[in-house]
Amino acid sequence: MSRLGSLGARLYRGEVGYDFVGKRMIWYGISILITITAIVGLGVRGLNMGIEFSGGAVFTTPKASVSSSQAEEAAEKVSGHTAHVQELGTGGLRIQIGDVDPQKADQIKADLSEDLNIPANDINADLVGPSWGEQIANKAWTGLGIFMALVVIYLAIAFEWRMALAALVALIHDLTITVGIYALVGFEVSVGTVIGLLTILGYSLYDTVVVFDGLKEASKGITKQTRFTYSEIANRSLNGTLVRSINTTVVALLPVAGLLFIGGGVLGAGMLNDISLSLFVGLAAGAYSSIFIATPLVADLKEREPQMKALAKRVRAKRAAAAAKGAGEESEGAPQDAVPGEGAYDQDDDEAAAAGVVGQRAQPASRNRRGRPSGKRR
């Protein structure tokens, strides 16, 4: 078994672990700071909306002898508007000009042909009206709202409303971070970006649902034992699925990174780059939220229940009694070679066995059967 597999097995059995839930205030603070930064960036810089939403024209050229900066300068000169130029993998150029009057598109195309020394027939022009982009945006918001509602309803039925609420918060967290990064870095928002944003919602939910399913099984009959609080069981479940979550995220990120860094460099910028970029950012944010946000938030909500408060009180009382008993035995000079677990069991021994933590039982003394009558006559 590999070292990572061995670590995963030890995490699953509870032999090792990290207190994610116990340090949840640290993760909350980090997430709030990142979210505020994303919101400020969104409010100050705004989103760089593509022509699909703002309207404009896209001119695609074959392999050109001019650089992207020279083409951008020429496009702004002939159109009078801001232009954005991207180099394609074939050596051609993709020139985007916003707020272009469709009637002037032919004239701009002719001027670009002259300035770039490219035949006009070899330049492909695509015009996009702002009304089409507005329709796409409205449909995207509608799809997002329907998706969120269905997710909350399903998780509330399959698990409980607290887990549904935590998953919804994690989704909003992931979307906010992804959109904020787009605003801060200045990435262009296109139709491919919207597709990528809608796609990452499913990936973000995957790890969260896996952890919630394990937590649901581990917390059955939790009030009948006094060994662990709900937060401790939630942390054990999270550690048990930690390696699986990391492996799943890495495996999902590798092909997306290939599309983003290799495919974008070879095939050029476009729809492929827009989708892979939003997927890459969203997958990383989703893995973070499933570990550091969703499960600790569920533990916070559950610990507010009267039953869980009473359970935590019983657990603390039992541990305090055990600590006092251990201190008393040590002061009385207990033998150093005593074997843990020997002697009589208390009323929670069956709960300890159910938790997989069982002490070494005392074996009955062997009876000397020598000299006993066998019942047979000689």
The position carrying tokens 């796609």 is 199
Residue 267 confidence (pLDDT): 57
* pLDDT for 228 beyond 70: yes
Kindly report, residue by residue over 241-294, the tens digit of the pLDDT. 887 778 888 888 888 888 777 766 555 555 677 778 888 888 888 888 888 999
DSSP letters, 99-125, are: S--GGGHHHHHHHHHHHHT--GGG-EE
For residues 174 and 341, the model is more confident at: 174
For residues 194 and 336, the model is more confident at: 194
3-48+132-307 and 56-128: identical CATH topology? no
Residue 344 confidence (pLDDT): 35
pTM above 0.75, yes or no: no
Q: First and final CA of the chain: distance in angstroms?
A: 61
Q: Where are the domains of the chain?
A: 3-48+132-307, 56-128
* pLDDT for 217 beyond 90: no
Query: Can you tell me the distance from the alpha carbon of 105 to that of 318, in angstroms, rounded to the nearest whole number?
Result: 79
**Average model confidence (pLDDT) for the chain?**
76
Kindly report, residue by residue over 168-197, the tens digit of the pLDDT. 998 888 888 888 888 888 777 877 788 888
- 348's tokens: 């929670």
Query: Can you tell me the distance from the alpha carbon of 31 to that of 368, in angstroms, rounded to the nearest whole number?
Result: 68
87 CB-near residues (< 8 Å, 6+ apart):
68, 93, 94, 268, 269
DSSP strand E in 312-360: where?
none
- Contact indicator for 190, 271 with CB cutoff of 8 Å: yes
- 184's tokens: 């801060």
Q: Which SS3 state, helix, strand or coil, does residue 61 take? A: strand
Region 103-109: what's the mean pLDDT?
A: 79
Domain 3-48+132-307: which topology? Multidrug efflux transporter AcrB transmembrane fold (1.20.1640)
For the domain bounded by 56-128, which CATH number is listed? 3.30.70.3400
pLDDT band for 130, please (50, 70, 90 cuts): low
Residue 153 confidence (pLDDT): 92
pLDDT band for 49, please (50, 70, 90 cuts): confident
Residue 4 confidence (pLDDT): 54
DSSP strand E in 91-201: where?
93-98, 124-128, 188-189
CB half-sphere exposure, 2, CA atoms < 13 A:
4
Query: Can you tell me the distance from the alpha carbon of 197 to that of 135, in angstroms, rounded to the nearest whole number?
Result: 17
